[in-house]
Structure 1
Amino acid sequence: MMSATHSKEETTFDPTPLLSTRIQRYAPGAIRRLLPLENFPGMISLVAGKPNPEVFPFEKITLSLKGSSKQIILTQEDGLADGLQYGLPGGNPDLVKWFKDFQCELHGINRDQEWTCCIGNGSQELLHRTFQVLTDPGDPVLIETPAYPGVVGFLQAEDYKLVQAKTDRHGLDTFELERLLSRWPENQSRPKLLYTIPTGSNPTGRSCPEQRKIEILRLAKRFNFMVLEDDAYYFLNFEDESNGKPRSYLALEREVNREIGRVIRFDSMSKIVSAGMRLGVLTGPLPIVKNVIKLTENINLQPSSTTQMLALSLFRHWGHAGFLEHCAKASEFYRQKRDTFASAAEIHLKHRAIWDIPTAGLFFWITLRLPPGEDTFELLSKKGMEYGLLAIPGVAFMPDNSKTCQLRASFSLVTEEQAYEACRRMAQLVDDAWRDWVRKFVPGCTDKNGLSNPTTTVLS
């Protein structure tokens, strides 16, 4: 591995030539680009149609934290006025600074280089806008498969060419990715970006080891594409700390390629602070962040001021160390739920399914051992409600909508009792699928003729 020390030969990758045609049609917001100037001493602003805070009915907001007797009280003087008012399209400046400092500390990036953060109403919004900044409808996009359907949905709606970057039990398959890109037709436009969930992938629960990230970053430079690092489960990593958790693409970029600016990172507060607050953070090169902000100016003006002020108050109370301590507790909470579900699967699904133990996140990716021609979409659609079991069929995670024998099972909310019962019902679904298949294709082989468990007979 290369040294992490700085090099005089280090360069800053300029993503400007990769910008989409459509983002260049957008003009900066006529009003919001002037708002920062209101803070100049002596300035009288007649710019924004801001409501007068005198009409707001809120006097203060009090936050009570679990496990603490201390309350956080927000008054007009403590920032509540700003939290109830229009704000900047890139996010509350103090919250942006908190995250910039945090990213420097956590990922070891140089604060003097040309990158920044911006805030969005959830990382999903920031992802959508980043795709708009870098691509046009119909463009080819490398997408880790099985893929997160929240991204597949809007890409399919705009008729992108979804190029599947295959995965195995260790995340992205770099050998297959290199082969795919090496054989790319010369007369066709190459993908400008790779979308990946490197930690606790949704839906597989798998994580990409550091060596593979290094190989992917080298491929990104060689084939000139950007890496969209959607790391919503980064803080719910169950891997043993003694082995050292893999560094992020953002942390590795400078060391591997002697350049910065090719990685765009997305962090989400949904899994660790509040899903309803809709708070996401984009970290990336200035040209990308500025254009994401330009879209915000033109579409929904800004992320929620109130949500940001609540989050900022909480983060200031915790500090970086307190935030990480909270994340560690959340990770341990979900680790125990993962272990419970794994035990339930081992008891009820052995010989009926195969799965890997997720290294992070909230999901098991389970391959059911179904009869020939069967898939989980048909099975769950026809009998899921009858058996009282809901899960996401694998087809939802396939960009080409191909049938699969897989499903995604979320263990985040179920109790221990529910985990065991869910796996029992899943096993019953598999058994009954085989019974139906045997009755249909094996003449004379029925339960009445002494075949009490066709599943065991066929699979053994």
Structure 2
Amino acid sequence: MTLPQSLDFSHLYSDETRARKSSPLKSCIHYFQDPKIAFLGGGLPLSKYFPWDSIVADSSLPSLTYGIETDLPNTGAREETCHVRLERNEITKGGDLKDIPLSRALQYGFGMGQPEFLSFVREHTQLVHKVRYSDWDVLATTGNTGSWESTLRIFCNKGDTILAEQYSFSSSIYAAEAQGINVFPVPLDEHGLIPERLEAILDNWNPKTKKPKLLYTVPTGQNPTGSSLSDNRKIEIYRIAQKHDLLILEDEPYYFLQMDHYQREATSRKVTHFKSQSEFLDSLAKSFISLDTDGRVIRMDSFSKVLAPGTRLGWLVASKKILRVYNQLHEMTIQNPSGFSQAIVAGTLNRWGQEGFLDWLLGLRREYSEKRDIAIDGLFKHLPKTPIFRINPPTAGMFFTITIDASAHPDFLTKYSSKPELVELAIYEKTIENGVLVIPGSWFKVSGNTEPPQPSEHKKGSNSNEIFFRGTFAAVDSDTLKNGVQRLGETLKQEFQL
């Protein structure tokens, strides 16, 4: 089957991108690897002056026998441990080995990423998402936060508008606003962004203002709501994006933290044991990149939630046309992600192999499912049994939310002057006083608009007196989690005098 080529979206580039030129110094860096060339053209230090001779990194060795998926602890025995030893040597050609030699990892160059790293994530992407157009590729990044900042610079001018879920990752929203970009909210419910509302907003966009170029979405285990888009909603959203020539920025750090649906009765729960890795892959939600035939989806992947945030390492999946523009920007900003991180992560993953990495992800799925159940069990146990509070058990990610009818607070009309945001603040301060921290939903609210503004009905939600709080079940051990949920329940009982 011959796959189509991606479309050209250069008409959506920012003025900065149109004005940017490729660095001529980067155009000749590949000669540094040519032994026939006496390379006198670049400011590259000689690798013998790097102080590190070798780096050793040991990790678990995930497999169907050992690793996080089973109850067997890592005792340190050699057959259970992945040993990575990175040596300094003068090999500079990329892709010949599973390891990135320190002489190359710590040197300038390879702005797209080191070949040993890229080859692994490229194979992983095709295995998981089966991209449906031919000229796609991957590019190494410093994580999704850095990728987002680059995206804004590449596509947006000051005064442009982008779309995001009505409650969204606050750092991403603040980054856009700091660049003078309007972030317009699209309503969402317990199942994520609502396609019908998205289409209504775009179909009835104020013609006196420029239409949005980008839709920013966290489809799986959404931050902050914990919601996950169904495959059918994604298909509808992609159709709408095609209709309105919109790019979809798919921010997916939680994609592999997908779980079984929560069962209220513990006796009814069954841990899913997949017969094969293929069965596991088939169980995963469709990604936007797997639906994309135009090259209008830019997928941001990250190791922050599945390996470690401190690696500051991730990758973009997009058309080669678009990635070329990212690389031009990175040449003048980050240069490339940390050589230490790329070398250690690539050395580890190339030893694990694709099967080992999937085993690791399967293990994380089980661990997060157990922690999710502990948190939601605790909420149902300790929260008052009343319609005032609503729990939405997540099926992916790291977050749970409690939605609260602020108008039911006994002091709503008097002390808080019928303002739900004052009730929210009071609850937040009370939870800290009682020794537990959850985050107010208002911290994530998207409230931007255009000038002249869009029709007011675009922003209408359901109950204006509803507030919510975001908690995480990922950051603490099980005992602390149980204790924290109990304190949260006791605080809400006190506040609402229940």
Residue of structure 1 equivalent to 2:433: 386
1:378 CA displacement? 1.0
- For residues 86 and 379 of structure 1, the distance between their equivalents in structure 2, rounded to whole angstroms, comes to 52
1:365 CA displacement? 1.6
Residue of structure 1 equivalent to 2:52: 58
Residue of structure 2 equivalent to 1:46: 40
Residue of structure 2 equivalent to 1:412: 474
Letter in 1 for 2:40: L
- Match of 1:34, SS? helix
- For residues 368 and 308 of structure 1, the distance between their equivalents in structure 2, rounded to whole angstroms, comes to 44
Residue of structure 2 equivalent to 1:440: none
Structure 1 unmatched ranges of 5 or more? 255-259, 435-453, 456-460
Q: CA 1:196 to 1:293, structure 2 compared with 1: closer, same or farther past 3 Å? A: same
Asked if the contact 1:369–1:430 (Cα under 8 Å) also holds between the matched residues in 2, the reply is: no
TM-score, reference length from structure 2:
0.81
- For residues 159 and 377 of structure 1, the distance between their equivalents in structure 2, rounded to whole angstroms, comes to 29
1:102 CA displacement? 1.8
Whether 2:247 is the aligned partner of 1:247: answer no
Letter in 1 for 2:87: T
Whether 2:130 is the aligned partner of 1:96: answer no
Letter in 1 for 2:108: Y
Asked if the contact 1:104–1:110 (Cα under 8 Å) also holds between the matched residues in 2, the reply is: no
Query: What is the aligned residue count?
Result: 424
Residue of structure 1 equivalent to 2:403: 367
Q: Out of 356, 359, 369, which is 2:392 matched to? A: 356
Q: Out of 144, 159, 168, which is 1:138 matched to? A: 159
1:273-422 equivalent positions in 2, closer than 5 A? 273-349=307-383, 350-351=385-386, 353-370=389-406, 371=409, 372=412, 373-375=419-421, 377-400=424-447, 405-422=467-484
1:265 CA displacement? 0.5
1:338 CA displacement? 0.4
Residue of structure 2 equivalent to 1:161: 182
1:382 CA displacement? 3.0
Identity of counterpart residues, as a percentage?
Answer: 28
Q: Which deviates the most, 60-69 or 372-381?
A: 372-381
- For residues 27 and 94 of structure 1, the distance between their equivalents in structure 2, rounded to whole angstroms, comes to 28
- Match of 1:204, SS? coil
Asked if the contact 2:150–2:329 (Cα under 8 Å) also holds between the matched residues in 1, the reply is: yes
Structure 2 unmatched ranges of 5 or more? 61-73, 75-79, 90-98, 261-271, 413-418, 449-463
Q: Out of 145, 165, 170, which is 1:149 matched to? A: 170
The one-character-per-residue Cα deviations of 1:379-406 (angstroms, maximum 9, x if unpaired) are 2553233111212110111012999621
Asked if the contact 2:136–2:320 (Cα under 8 Å) also holds between the matched residues in 1, the reply is: yes
- Match of 2:228, SS? coil
1:196-275 equivalent positions in 2, closer than 5 A? 196-239=217-260, 244-254=283-293, 260-275=294-309
The one-character-per-residue Cα deviations of 1:81-122 (angstroms, maximum 9, x if unpaired) are 2222223222112212222222122211258x2221111111
1:253 CA displacement? 1.6
Q: Out of 14, 22, 25, which is 1:20 matched to? A: 14
> RMSD of the alignment, in Å?
2.1
1:80 CA displacement? 2.1
1:206 CA displacement? 1.3
- For residues 168 and 385 of structure 1, the distance between their equivalents in structure 2, rounded to whole angstroms, comes to 28
Q: Which deviates the most, 90-99 or 367-376?
A: 367-376
Q: Which deviates the most, 18-27 or 39-48?
A: 39-48
- For residues 377 and 308 of structure 2, the distance between their equivalents in structure 1, rounded to whole angstroms, comes to 28
Whether 2:465 is the aligned partner of 1:429: answer no
Asked if the contact 2:438–2:469 (Cα under 8 Å) also holds between the matched residues in 1, the reply is: yes
The one-character-per-residue Cα deviations of 1:305-327 (angstroms, maximum 9, x if unpaired) are 11101111011101111111111
Q: CA 1:25 to 1:417, structure 2 compared with 1: closer, same or farther past 3 Å? A: same
1:300 CA displacement? 2.5
1:244 CA displacement? 3.0
- For residues 36 and 181 of structure 2, the distance between their equivalents in structure 1, rounded to whole angstroms, comes to 50
Letter in 2 for 1:251: S
Asked if the contact 1:32–1:88 (Cα under 8 Å) also holds between the matched residues in 2, the reply is: no
- Match of 1:22, SS? helix
Asked if the contact 1:28–1:294 (Cα under 8 Å) also holds between the matched residues in 2, the reply is: yes
TM-score, reference length from structure 1:
0.87
- For residues 329 and 360 of structure 1, the distance between their equivalents in structure 2, rounded to whole angstroms, comes to 14
